[in-house]
Structure 1
Amino acid sequence: MSDETDAPEPLPAPAVSVPCLAQRGGVSFATARIVPDEQAIAFTYNGSTHAVMMATPADLEDFAVGFALTEELIEDRSEIENLEIVPTPLGIELRVWLKGDRAETYAKRRRSMAGPTGCGLCGIESLEAAMRPLPQVTAATKFSSQAIIAAMASLDPAQVLNAETHAVHGAGFWTEREGLIALREDVGRHNALDKLVGALVRAGRTAADGLVLMTSRVSIELIQKAARLNAPVLVAVSAPTAAAIRLADEAGMTLIAVARRQDFEVFTHPERLTETSRQAASNVA
């Protein structure tokens, strides 16, 4: 007879219904609301814990691959030998085993690490490492204003989890030829982007021919992650930080933000907008 205690823990749902007491028009009543869940996600590489993130328990294989790439633990998906998702009573472990030379490189890095930070910049040993130079974005794909508007308009219908909860960020990738290729959601904006990166890498794609889209503000780690995919343009709903603008400029990335309905603002490298779009941006400025 099998021992039920040996059964693996099930993966938790990304959203749950919880009871609450609502106040509407001066009247209180019992109801329920669907809210996103977040779980402790531990990234382990060759048996060593690298970082623990609070994240939405969905698209976890994408998360593991995207995180490894954006944190420069790997250069290519092929450097991962095995990946296992292990639910536990305390959270979820993403157990990644790196191949040969990459495993040795990681072991050397691990010995010099001061410790993970548990935020968007994980496992960083020093200020120099946190602000490491980015690869230069070489993709020269240009986009019209209408393309940017259409891309951002494609996000909302695809955000299934946010439609349920109104409480998660989305990261998407859109091309003029194919429309919205992929979208990933998470309670953390940098987690959502890592999941998107993982989805594209697992599909054998970069972001060179399209737009990376965010439903959040733009902070420095989003620029760092998007640059790893050679993303020519990052478009976001909310405003960027000054540090994000400086980094996007240095990396050669076009940063477009405050993109809402028909309007947006271009902060860096407007040369990737078509002539008509550049003229419109110049008139606004």
Structure 2
Amino acid sequence: MSNPAISYAHITRVTDTLVTATEDALAAEEPLEIRLVHNGQQQSITVTMRSPGQDEELAAGFLFTEGIITQYAAIKTIYYNNNVATVTLQPGITPSLQPAQRNFLANASCGVCGKTDLDAIYTPVSKTTSLIKVPAAILHELPASLRNQQAVFDNTGGLHAAALFNTEGTLLHIKEDIGRHNAVDKLIGIGIKQDLDFSQYGLLLSGRAGFELIQKAAVAGIPVIAAVGAPSSMAVKMAKEWDITLIGFLREGRFNIYHGQEKIAL
């Protein structure tokens, strides 16, 4: 079965003096427009560049992490056709649209592009209150577990991954996308659909941890974030404000704790 997240191109491969005509796997990138239907009105919410596939989860996760809806039950239907995901809300549901207003297309690397003013980058978030405790030994095992299950990355080498993990080191869900914020939205989208208790899970990121990823996790109530790459200064600042345990440079048997050491069993 073909994977919509993978595309193919005819290339000329040069190795030293050897020239070969062959085919190469690419991470597919296409636009997705998310439309919202509520109280008989339809409007376009955003256009984002993403890896095709799991678009219903991406649309639901985006609406949730942007604060437009507060639960999956607010959604009546999600209809996908030709790179457009149309989300129809239940009768009587009024979405909160002001925080999410955007005025241009968001590219695959940007989770807050197009916001109309500085205040609009923030989504209402409450501090986490989870008492979760993650053993350090479990954290050390997570990058290899994630890498072993990155199916599309194995073929293309061009995708980010996000996963939910528990205190036993089990990866519950793994999502890949050319945009790291999209991977997190897909992950949270399936989580709210399954009514998961996010307070019992950590978020694992295959790359760096930026502000927009911390905020998405905070909206869901995820108490621990572990990134293989580096966190940004804004990510650390908001992790402290929202009391999220933030770990960076999780690789090769080491990691840095930037906030929330009490949630890690050292």
- On whether the aligned pair clears a TM of 0.5, the verdict is yes
Q: 1:147 to 1:49 in 2, by over 3 A?
A: same
> How many residue pairs are counted as aligned between the two chains?
258
Gaps of 5+ in 2: none
Aligned to 1:6: none
Q: How do 1:84-233 residues align onto structure 2 when only pairs under 5 Å count?
A: 84-87=79-82, 92-103=83-94, 105-106=95-96, 109=98, 113=101, 115-116=103-104, 118=106, 119-121=110-112, 124-177=115-168, 179-233=170-224
| Structure with the higher fraction of residues in helix conformation | 1
- Contact in 2 for aligned 1:211/1:235 (Cα 8 Å): yes
- Contact in 1 for aligned 2:59/2:85 (Cα 8 Å): yes
Given candidates 51, 54, 74, the residue that maps to 2:49 is: 54
More displaced stretch, 137-146 vs 115-124:
115-124
CA offsets, 1:179-221, max 9 Å, x none? 1110000000000000000111111103211221000111100
What's the Cα RMSD here?
Answer: 2.1
Q: 1:81 to 1:64 in 2, by over 3 A?
A: same
User: Is 1:248–2:239 an aligned residue pair?
Assistant: yes
Bigger Rg, structure 1 or 2: 1
- Contact in 2 for aligned 1:50/1:116 (Cα 8 Å): no
Q: 1:25 to 1:122 in 2, by over 3 A?
A: closer
CA offsets, 1:54-76, max 9 Å, x none? 00001111111111100111000
- Contact in 2 for aligned 1:153/1:261 (Cα 8 Å): no
Gaps of 5+ in 1: 1-10, 278-285
**TM-score, normalised with respect to structure 2:** 0.90
Q: Match for 1:38: what amino acid? A: E
Q: CA offset at residue 117 of structure 1?
A: 5.5
Identity between Structure 1 and Structure 2 (%): 26
Aligned to 1:7: none
Distance in 1 (CA, whole Å) between partners of 2:231 and 2:197 is 23
Aligned to 2:76: 81
Aligned to 1:257: 248
Q: CA offset at residue 114 of structure 1?
A: 6.2
Q: Match for 1:86: what amino acid? A: N
Distance in 1 (CA, whole Å) between partners of 2:138 and 2:3 is 37
Q: CA offset at residue 122 of structure 1?
A: 5.9
Aligned to 1:237: 228
**TM-score, normalised with respect to structure 1:** 0.85
